[in-house]
Amino acid sequence: MTAIRLGLCGIGTVGGGVLDLLRRNGEALAGRAGAPLEIVHVGARRDRDGVDPGSATVSREVLAVAEDPAVDILVEAIGGTDDAHELVRRALEAGKHVVTANKALIAEYGNDLLALAEEKGVSLRFEAAVAGGIPIIKALREGLAANRVSWLAGIINGTGNFILTEMAEEEREFADVLAEAQALGYAEADPTFDIEGIDAAHKLVILAAIAFNTPLRFDAVYTEGISALTPEDLAYADELGYVVKHLGVARETGAGLELRVHPTLLPKDLLLAKVAGVKNAVLVEGDAVGPTMYYGAGAGGGATASAVMADVIDLARELSRGQRCPLPSLGLPMDQLRELPILPMGEVRTAWYLRLEAEDRPGVMSQVSRILGDQGISIEALIQKAPQRGQSRVPVVVVTNVASQANLERAVMAIEALDSIAGPVTRIRVESLDG
Say if CB 138 and CB 112 are below 8 A apart. no
**C-alpha angle with apex 17: 11 to 19, nearest 5 degrees?**
70
CA distance 233 to 246: 13
Note if 203 is an active site residue: yes
- In 3D space, the residue among 222, 113, 227 whose CA is nearest the CA of residue 159 turns out to be 227
CA distance 354 to 373: 15
Residues 6+ apart with CB under 8 A from 355: 232, 233, 236, 395, 396, 397, 398, 425, 426
Give residue 328's identity as a one-letter amino acid code. P
CA distance 310 to 17: 13
Going by their DSSP bridges, the two strands 256-267 and 242-253 should be labelled as antiparallel
CA distance 299 to 296: 9
Choose, from 203, 268, 274, 385, the residue flagged as catalytic. Answer: 203
CA distance 435 to 432: 8
Integer angstrom CA distances of residue 340 from 136, 267, 343: 22, 30, 9
Rg (CA), the chain: 24
CA distance 231 to 234: 5
Give residue 47's identity as a one-letter amino acid code. D
Cβ-based burial of 288 (10 A; exposed 0-12, middle 13-18, buried ≥19): exposed
- In 3D space, the residue among 177, 180, 153 whose CA is nearest the CA of residue 164 turns out to be 177
Say if CB 351 and CB 399 are below 8 A apart. yes
CA distance 50 to 336: 46
3-state secondary structure of 216: coil
The maximal CA–CA distance of the chain, rounded, in angstroms, is 84
Helices (H), 34-153: 63-66, 82-93, 103-120, 136-138
Side-chain-side CA neighbours of 434 within 13 Å: the count stands at: 7
Residues 6+ apart with CB under 8 A from 275: 155, 161, 245, 281, 295
Hey, which residues are catalytic here? Answer: 203
